[in-house]
Structure formats: structure tokens, C-alpha cells
Structure 1
Amino acid sequence: MRHVSAAHARAFVEKVLVGNGVTQDNAVIVAKCLVEADLRGVDTHGMNRIPSYMARVREGVLDPRASPTIRQITPAVAQVDGHNGFGFLAAHKGMATAIDMARNIGIGMVSVKHSNHFGMSAWVVQQALDAGMMSLVFTNSSPALPVWGGKSKLMGVSPIACGAPAGKSGRPFIMDMAPSVAARGKIYKALRRGETIPGDWALDKDGNRTDDPSKALEGVMLPMGGPKGSAIAIMMDVFSGVLSGSAFAGHVTNPYDPSKPADVGHFLVAIKPDLFMSIAEFKERMDYLYQRVVGSDKIAGVDRIYFPGEIEDLNKEKRLREGIPLVEAEVQALNKEAERVGAASIATTPPPTKSRL
């Protein structure tokens, strides 16, 4: 295991992106979003996605030079066209637009079409939090999940995310979860690292439970909560695909498939938290909720109860100090992308001798 600092990681990703035709300004946004996932411990959606994204660029199915455009529909509603560019750029522009509308009239809603995978949804939530806003963040994705009662891939493991500013605790509410038992990116991560997966995550192509990530990717993911997870996946497709005009009903292209554009859709909402009370009262109420949650009576074997998003915040604090961990295979894959464009290798260091968390 090697470690890389957040600053070095962002600089590395920016150089690889610019070397592949992305403008410097856009590369800064994409790199920040990817490294934020690594810092929060969501390694499945961090800089390790660079090789698959660059493969799509090389195959001409993701436009590295595209920048999103906005069409204002009403004072509270807008649509962003991603023009088949990076999903990070379309989502960033969409949430920025929603925030501006919310500042003026209390709420902003943005539909995004013709986009691509935008990594970890929590970074979009954080963009709203940084502006003092509550948010809802939806996206659809490529088929990986059967509908309840079905056996073939149809719905995506599309994450549903939302957030609200923190009270005195300093810990905002950040929920970011897939409707599957586990995110599909965790299976790709296990495959990349030569690891097995828990037997309740997926079925192989014959419908049998498997702990082999390669067989799981040939089969289907399992929905969380049975029909409940299936319904959430369909909801993501309604709001992100049907409503936006992007691909839906199983027609979104897998981000690891460089054969054709993905045509992903997103649905983003920003809300002012002081619409119904003062911001001070809102934050007092959020702090009370936080204290009630983390102070709940614990069951046997549980040492600490965390607020949604708190574990990831703690991961970020730790990784900002100690660096982002990468296995050798991941370092080699990233450096191969750097070599393709004549960029310097990623700067890694040995792991710290002792964790401070």
C-alpha cells in the first residue's frame, strides 16, 4: 500500500485530464470531485476511475472538450445539457445554478441531460452545503439491478443523496446511498485488488450467490430491502432519465463500456434552510437532532453511533493527514495514463507507521 497526498493527487489528475484535451478550468473541477471521494474513503469513485474515463475519451464516446450549457425554464427551474462531457462538470454547473435560484426564491430545481458518470454523489451535496443549502441529488446509471421479481439487469444502482447544514456539532447531514446492497464500484474495486466480496451482494449469470467479483459483474447486483430497493432504483430513473430526456429503462451505457455515449441524466434540487424559520433556529434544531442520534442507547457490541456522513468526514480528516492509500496495481494503472500523455508519475510515499485515528 502506498499513500498520496490530496494536493499531489489533484495535481496528478489535472495533468492527466489536460493531457487528454480537458481545459485547465474543467480539469480542476473534475480532479477536485474525484479526490474528494478518495478523501472520504469512497475509493470506488475516486481517481481510480481515471483509466476507465480516459478509455472512453480515447474511443470518442466522451467529449473531453465539452462544457455544459444552461436553459432557464422558469425562475426556479433550469435544464443543463452536458453535451456528452464529464458528468462532474454537468452536475457542478447544475447544482451551482440550483443554488443561485434558491438564493433568490428559496428553491432551485435543475434537470441534467446528455451527461456521464459523476462519481460520488456526496460531492454534489457538499457543493450545496458549502453554499449553506439543503439539497437532493439524483442520478440514473447503467443496468446492474433486476426489478423485484425479475432476473435480468434493467435498473441502475443509481445513488440517492441529500444533505442539510450542520448545527453546533459541525457535522452536516449527508446521505449518499445506492439502492443495491452494495455499490457496484465496490465490486470493481475487489476485482482490481484481487479480493472476494460478501456472498449477499450479487448473483452470477446463473442466478447463484457468489463471492467472486468477476462472476458478480457477469450477473446482477441485489437490491437492498427487496422490493424497496427496486422501487428506489425505478424512482431514480423516473426523475433522472424520463424527466430529463436522457437514456432510461436500461439504456444508459456502463461507464466501463467504451462503445457508445452513456447519456446519463441527473436531477438536482437546492433549498434554503431558512424558508420557514431563522437560520439560527434551523441550526439549533439540526444540532438537537444530531445529539439525539449519536446519543441514542446503543445495542450490545456497538461503541459509537454515527450521524449519516460522519464516518466519511472522519475518513477525510485522517486522509488529509496521512494521505490516500493506493495498492500497487492502482498506482501502475494511474501511471500508465500519465505515460500516455507525457505527465509525471503520481507522487506516493510509504504508509504512515501509526494511525492517528
Structure 2
Amino acid sequence: MDQPQEKIYIPHATAKAFTQSILTGNGVSPQNAKIIADCLVLADLRGVDTHGTNRIPSYMERIRQGVLNASASPSLTQITPVVAQVDGQNGFGFPAAQAGMARAIEMAREFGIGFVSVKHSNHFGMSAWVVQQALDAGMMSLVFTNSSPALPVWGGREKLMGVSPLACGAPAGKERPFILDMAPSVAARGKIYKAKRRGEKIPNDWALDAEGRQTDDPEAALGGVMLPMGGPKGSALAVMMDVFSGVLSGSAFAGHVTNPYDPSRPADVGHFLVAIKPDLFMGLDDFKARMDYLYQRVVGSEKMAGVDRIYYPGEIEQITHDERLKTGIPYVQAEIDALNQEAEKVGVEKIVL
């Protein structure tokens, strides 16, 4: 296996402008291109490189193969005063989820809660950006999505459930907000693709190879199955994501969502989005003070041996975000080369000359 490669640091504004140019060059509207680029670069800034701009080559291949509609814009149907549905029209998942959460926020402002189901969508990257959209509006949120088969159900050996993240958030006062974005697997599948790209090994407990044996080889892992965290508990969470995101929405479910790296047919991903007004049961100042107290209790609790600091959910990513705003986003040469190949295909400026 190759040695890990040197990092090349790119300013976030450069990465964002480059991503927008690639998207518009492939037929995405400027408005949707901005939403997608903002979300991908936010993932990079938060250190979630698996769900950032490195996804561009696979997304563009889906456009070229005709299984993702670059020019599609989501449509919204109001079901009840507090429930709506978005049809992603087989376009990018980012504009569909953004429109869905925007409507959920509007309903929550008026009625206290808003729930939006999204159907016929695609991969929307890191779930935390949807949570952040709600936080920016002062809202609590729940963000679910289903995804392509990668996990066996507990006791099984075939890929059936997706590594489908469960995310949620709540605003605070003076302290950091609560942001949870977690997959029901030991690790996100994107981390295995990243390790393969970078010539790195993976921990032995992330996945099994095709023969059902533990492996530290990312290529062998991609030919096998991811492992659920906590055994049957992680497996059950993956099924839950399919119930709320796939079954309920009318999108694909039960192993029928297409892998975003498979350019053979539409993905038909479903999402489940909820916005909640945080001052339903008390004043907003009281709520924020209680959230601040929770933060202080968590990070100030007694540490186990060998631990220097306790982090709140989402805090490490927020710290990384602040650091990368200053230092830039780290890429390896193979990632730069893949992005520059996309630039050549549509005749736009390369991310690094």
C-alpha cells in the first residue's frame, strides 16, 4: 500500500468558487450551484472531507451518465399546516434538503413545529449542514436520510441497510450549539473511499471483506460490508432511517437506494426533516441558559484516565472549522488531480494550476 501523501492547502473561498464553476459547467443553475458548493465546502471546513468537494467527480459522473438531473429544481407540496413534501425531481440532494428545511423552519415559526418529507432525491453530503441551517434560524432540528446498501442487518452478511446518518441540533446562548451527526456504522463509508484514495489503511473493526473477515485494506472493505456500531443497536438505527426516510416518503428503501458511486440508475434517496421552535415551553433565554448549563456540565465532567479534554457533540468539527478558515482545506495530490480533470472536461480554471 502506498505511503500517505503530503497535504496541499487550498483557501475555502477558492474551493467554493472552483466547485461552483464545475457545477455550472455541468448544467447546474447558479442558484443551486451556490447551495451545493456552500454545503460541500462547509463539510471540508468541519473536517468531514469524505463528504466535501472530493465528491465532485462521482457527482459529475452521474450527470454524464444521465442518472442525475443537473438542471432539476425541487418542487414543494403543502400537505397540512405543519407538514410538507419536497420532490427532488432526481436533482442534487442539497437544494432539495435546503428547500425542505427552509419550509420546515417557516412552519415552525408559525406553528411551533414543521415536518418535511423529501422524495426522489440524491446524496446530500454531510447532514450537519442541514442542522446548521436550522440553527442559523434559531431552531432545533431532526435530520434523517436513507442511503445505498452498505451494512448487513444484525446476524446477516449481505449489504442491505445504508450507512444512513442520524443528525439533530439545538441552539445555545454563550456556549457552542449542540450538533449531532452520526452514522449507524463504526465509521462512515466515505472514510474508506478516502483511505483508498490516499493510500492509507483502515482500522480492523470498520468492515469485513468479501469472505466475512476483518480487514485493514480499504479496497477489500469496499468489496465486503461495513460493520454497524454497537452490533444490533446500530443495525436497528439503520432500519429506523429507512422507515422514516424511505418508506414514509415514497422513495427507495429496503436495499434499493443506488450507491452515489454507481452511475447506472437514479439513486431515489429519501430524507426526513423536522424543525422545532425551542421556546415552546419556556422563554428563549431560559432555554438557551439551560443549553449552556448542559454544555458546561458535559465538558466539565470528571475525565477518565488518559483524557485531557471532554468535547461536546459537534465541538471538534466546530474547532476544525475555525482552524481551516485560517489555514485552508487540506487535499492530497490525487484529489487535486481528480478535481482538475473535472475542470478540464468543462473548460474552467483548475483548483491548483
TM class by shorter-chain length?
over 0.9
Give the aligned residue type for 1:101.
M
Q: Per-residue CA shift, 1:64-92, capped at 9, x if unaligned? A: 00000000000000000000000001100
Q: 1:224 aligns with which of 211, 223, 229?
A: 229
Q: 1:236 aligns with which of 225, 234, 241?
A: 241
Q: 2:131 aligns with which of 100, 113, 125?
A: 125
Q: Per-residue CA shift, 1:127-170, capped at 9, x if unaligned? A: 0000000000000000000001111000000000000002211x
Contact kept in structure 1, 2:340 and 2:352, CA below 8 Å:
no
| Structure 1 residue 296 corresponds to structure 2 residue 301 | yes
Q: 1:344 aligns with which of 325, 333, 349?
A: 349
SS in 1 for 2:179: strand
Question: What's the counterpart of residue 251 of structure 2?
Answer: 246
Question: What's the counterpart of residue 355 of structure 1?
Answer: none
| Structure 1 residue 66 corresponds to structure 2 residue 76 | no
Question: What's the counterpart of residue 311 of structure 2?
Answer: 306
Output the TM-score relative to the length of structure 1. 0.97
Question: What's the counterpart of residue 184 of structure 1?
Answer: 189
Give the aligned residue type for 1:269.
V
Q: 2:213 aligns with which of 208, 211, 222?
A: 208
Give the aligned residue type for 2:228.
P
SS in 2 for 1:277: coil
Q: 1:84 aligns with which of 82, 90, 94?
A: 90
Question: What's the counterpart of residue 158 of structure 1?
Answer: 164
Indicate the RMSD between aligned Cα atoms, in angstroms: 0.6
SS in 2 for 1:266: strand
- How many Å separate the matches in 2 of 1:292 and 1:238? 34
- How many Å separate the matches in 2 of 1:157 and 1:312? 20
| Structure 1 residue 316 corresponds to structure 2 residue 347 | no
- How many Å separate the matches in 2 of 1:89 and 1:217? 29
- How many Å separate the matches in 2 of 1:57 and 1:168? 44
Structure 2: runs of 5 or more not aligned: 1-6
Output the TM-score relative to the length of structure 2. 0.98
Q: 2:100 aligns with which of 89, 94, 115?
A: 94
Give the aligned residue type for 1:187.
I
Question: What's the counterpart of residue 277 of structure 1?
Answer: 282
Question: What's the counterpart of residue 13 of structure 1?
Answer: 19
SS in 2 for 1:320: helix
Correspondence 1:134-153 to 2 at 5 A: 134-153=140-159
Q: 1:28 aligns with which of 5, 25, 34?
A: 34
SS in 2 for 1:15: helix
- How many Å separate the matches in 2 of 1:117 and 1:148? 25
- How many Å separate the matches in 1 of 2:352 and 2:42? 18
Contact kept in structure 2, 1:164 and 1:172, CA below 8 Å:
yes
Alpha-carbon distance, 1:347 to partner: 3.9
Contact kept in structure 2, 1:8 and 1:347, CA below 8 Å:
no
Question: What's the counterpart of residue 3 of structure 2?
Answer: none
- How many Å separate the matches in 2 of 1:243 and 1:26? 26
Q: Per-residue CA shift, 1:203-260, capped at 9, x if unaligned? A: 0010000000011011000000000000000000000000000000000000000000
Alpha-carbon distance, 1:38 to partner: 0.1
Contact kept in structure 1, 2:43 and 2:126, CA below 8 Å:
yes
Give the aligned residue type for 1:163.
G
- How many Å separate the matches in 2 of 1:103 and 1:8? 35
Alpha-carbon distance, 1:344 to partner: 0.3
| Structure 1 residue 49 corresponds to structure 2 residue 55 | yes
SS in 2 for 1:113: strand
- How many Å separate the matches in 1 of 2:304 and 2:245? 38
- How many Å separate the matches in 2 of 1:217 and 1:103? 44
| Structure 1 residue 193 corresponds to structure 2 residue 234 | no
| Percent of paired sites with the same residue | 76
Aligned residues: 347
- How many Å separate the matches in 1 of 2:220 and 2:100? 37
Q: Per-residue CA shift, 1:25-49, capped at 9, x if unaligned? A: 1100000000000000000000000
- How many Å separate the matches in 2 of 1:341 and 1:269? 38
